[in-house]
Amino acid sequence: TEWMVRSSDDFYLIEPAEMLPEPVVRASGHLENFTDPEVSCADCRTAYRADTLLEASRPEGIDGLAPGEIGRLVQESGVRCPRCGGRHWTVPRPFNLMFSVDFGATGDEKAYLRPETAQSSYLAFARMWDVGRHALPLGIAVIGRAYRNEIAPRQVLFRSRAF
């Protein structure tokens, strides 16, 4: 990233905040749509991503399918639980991939650790446009981390990924 910024006067390197206010993630659609369908084995209670369980029997994926349809596919595919071999699954539910944070003096405001870095460049665009004196080309390079809460069928239900 650094070489790109140094190679041109039209590129700006920013390191934005890692927490985003709720209105930002709501406006981007992340609040409603940044989820994975999760099912649990009814026998051992281990959680799995439904699309991962269905990879072998449904290579085209499950994007856009309703939870009821995903549940039907999991049951009909006969997929076994990788941990215990069971074939009984819970109804799919959305697993939120974002970490929420309560903040403010009374803790009644909500923010989220950013799930991707792209949002930050959009938020900074007006400021960078002014800094660049309203001239094109204009490049913004973002450094920093993105955080995701991921389903991991291990000892705990979730793990954090920072990248």
Where exactly are the structural domains of the chain?
Answer: 35-96
Nearest to 82 by CA among 37, 38, 52: 52
Q: What is the pLDDT of residue 59?
A: 80
pLDDT in tens, 65-119: 888 899 999 999 999 999 999 999 999 999 999 999 998 889 899 999 999 999 9
Q: Torsion angle, CA of 41/47/51/55, rounded to 10 degrees? A: -60
Q: What is the pLDDT of residue 6?
A: 78
| Tokens matching residue 17 | 């905040």
Region for 130 from its dihedrals, namely left if φ exceeds 0, alpha if ψ lies in -120 to 50, beta otherwise:
alpha
Does 129 have pLDDT greater than 90? Answer: yes
Pairwise CA distance, residues 118 & 101, whole Å: 20
Task: Report the range of poorest mean pLDDT among 68-72, 80-84, 146-150, 152-156.
Answer: 152-156
Domain made up of 35-96: CATH architecture: 2-Layer Sandwich (3.30)
Q: What is the pLDDT of residue 62?
A: 86
Does 153 have pLDDT greater than 70? Answer: no
Q: Which long-range contacts (CB under 8 A, 24 or more apart) does 71-78 make?
A: 71/39, 74/39, 74/50, 77/53
pTM of the entire predicted model: 0.76
